Chains A and B, each alone.
Chain A
Amino acid sequence: MAKKKLSDSVVKELAEEVKEWGSMKQTGVSLKQMMNFGGSSKNLLISAQFVHKELPIRIARRVIELENLPYGLSTQNAVLQVRDWYLDSFRDLRSYPEIKDKNDELKFTQMVKMIKVRHNNVVPMMALGVKQLKKERPQFDYKDLKEVHQFLDRFYLSRIGIRMLIGQHVALHDPNPLPNCVGYIHTKMSPLEVARDASEDARSMCLREYGSAPAVNIYGDPNLTFPYVPSHLHMMVFELVKNSARAVQERFMDSYDDAPPIRIIVAGGLEDVTIKISDEGGGIPRSGLPKIFTYLYSTAENPLDEDFTSTGAATACTMAGYGYGIPISRLYARYFGGDLQILSMEGYGTDAFLHLLRLGDSQEPLP
């Protein structure tokens, strides 16, 4: 059961430890560094020791933030649940003994894997917390809650980093890694190929929802490859194509004209790989554009209802459905030094520009 305030609980020492670790300096890693750090047993030990020190710092920071949110967000039940997850994970890490040999390391890896699973539903749970806040204070408009937006951006960006570190460490233990892969990173990822797969997935979803789906034409060099995390790129392209397909369907649903295809261009430069996703779905008014990057504006349904004590992991595993896709896609893009920009022509269509760093030497952002 969620406790209300840390000081109410028995463990005052824990509160002090959280405070202590929350003020330590975080250490960022770049994609390049992660990639060059392979899975030899010596490296696994080093990696485990790094993660053992680094994770509590990042997690403690989040606990402190969760306790200090404005407008009473911290006391919403769903937010308290998230805070408790972070606290439990902090405790698990801090109570784990020094990692001295391969056995320690394997047990540690099991433990951080469990932590990652524990946090699987953080996004919908926080979304529920925000919803609870809105219910409590209906007079607030998304515009007024800039602080909350900024907090959520930092919070989710940090989560991406934590899950990347854990996931990468765990994946390095795979005895049969796929060719050219180092953990989550594909050293020769073809953005064209990932874009194709993600588009097909988005089209399938559109087909299920509308009975038809616009064509997607993809242009680019099939031989262009660079090191990146395919699951991240897949997620972002899927989200953007999904939105484009929906816009086009809604626009041409009652029309005799053929729905114009969505166009994707994959370009390789010296600094960046850029993926543009263009649709003719009617566009978004200039005044409405800032909203699409907000968390609080979401009108979509949340898979978790009020009774969150019975959370089926299956119901909460996708983010589709509560409108967090675009802001979170942008965080994924920025995590490795890229960006996501969306421009629109009201009455015509929308263009999304996904910039990904080609060199991978950008250090993780550490909010």
Chain B
Amino acid sequence: MKAFPSLDPIDGQDSPMTFPPVPSAAPYGGRRAAAATIRLPPPCSHLASYHSTDGSRSLRSLHRCLSVRPLGRAEVRRDPGEVPHCAACPSANGPRLYACLACAAVHCPAHAVAHADAGHEIAVDVDRAELFCCACGDQIYDLDFDAAVVLAQAAAAPLPERPRPPEAEEGFRKRRRMESRPWNPDPVERTVIWRGSSPLYVQDENFSHTADPRLPLGLRGLNNLGNTCFLNSVLQALLHIPLPRNFFLSDRHSRFICEHRSRRKKDINAGEQQTATLCLSCDLDAMYSALFSGDRKPYSPAKFLYSWWQHASHFASYEQQDAHDFFITMLDGIHEKEHQQFEPHNESNIIGTGDCCIVHKVFSGTLRSDVTCTICGYTSTTYDPCVDISLDLNHNNDYKKCARTSSHICNGESDGTSTLLGCLDRFTRSERLGSDQKLFCQNCQVKQESLKQMSIRNLPLVACFHIKRFEHSPQRNMSKKIDRYVQFPFYLDMVPFLSSSILRSRFGNRICGIDDRDSDVDMELASEFEIFAVITHSGNLDSGHYTTYLRQNNQWYKCDDSWITRVSENTVRASQAYMLFYVQKVLHCNASEIVAAS
């Protein structure tokens, strides 16, 4: 093996990849790395002394000695046909070979340790481009070396088209993180508030149930109008989310104003009698007024059902519907009415970005999809808005991936419990598209086998996860439900599934960032979520029942149509989740404080 040409100038491109790529399910790397920021451990004494003798410069210049495979894996450059072997025991190749940084001699681990005299302690793994301290006998990490690797990777990668991530689009405001400050009104503001608002509770002997101050405001059962538990369960989950609740309670969509506007339209389009009263937001506004009126008798969302059936007419039948389908059409119905209030020419810029209506402000996130050519590594990236994430339940189970193989918890789960994290892992895993699904590569100018990987570019304020329990098989013309328990955490850190983390791990989790617009750490600050509501489905496909578990003021309530009861945390953890709602922690901690009745 050539000595490291650390002082030679760069001459031309790295030689093209000589060996066929190793087929693998994931490109280089892919272990799930959870935390946002890297914590570099202090260097061992040998690395420190290497640095002190101008080691930084030579480490950084090592990029010339590295070659990078199409999918990003870095290794020490070698001549075509050259097979590295240990200088002391040439017959054995071994899985690990180390090249000394000082003299470029290659040894197997055993002989590398023997070679480690003064100045020769640091070596590099020839196949993996990882530093190794032969004196300490352990793999070590160094910023300068990683910088060299990243530089080599950047040089080798075919220039991708640069898609404009959503922020570059006009009208998309980057969500800034602001510190929450308490606000207390001064006397003038207090008067304004008093004059401009109406009390939530009517002090009436009929409403004696409201005497208990511990019961959350706005909590009321919803009457089942005939197989409408799918509707009730979704409403209970949505109505109590702080953002929409505050939106409607502060009159941001008043049914009195909206109806006037529609009525005026009605005069213009004579004969459109029904659509004048079709506004799901107005019905929600009415619902909020009813919920917070102080009356604790169950509420009948009849008008809402009526409006929804007009909006989504293919669902207008007296049979059990799927709660998730309803959720999507409901959001769509609210969005449709809300964003009509904006000027038409603004529509194309802001739809789906979160500025168009309350539902997108709450639920809208952005997914990033990367398609990589397995031959040349060219990656094409697209961004798509989403309001929720639907997760498949594998036929095999989604084991939670453990970095620590000795963890007994992981081994204890050998019965194979599916977990939400496991499903998300699979969702963001690099997937090799079949040879029958070759995609056109801009670089190669032919159709090639590709890898596809999803990641989350922008997190929503409320993350909704939908577990796909209902399987429809068109071949056998039959549907069935998957009853398997799916474990879900109460606290969820979404960092491992962000585009920044996925990208970083795709290129080997190097210390310094790779050059990509999605590598900003900013995104990772608002990645912590708390469970807010769980919609469960019990029974089978034809005759099932939806209920919602709702978390208010650190207490769990079960919303079973008209019945609101208290349940323990254990009941919720053990339930069969169908839809999960997580709220960003920064929002939730303020919202869940008990409002003192004054």
Same complex origin of A and B: no
List chain A positions with a Cβ less than 8 A from chain B. none
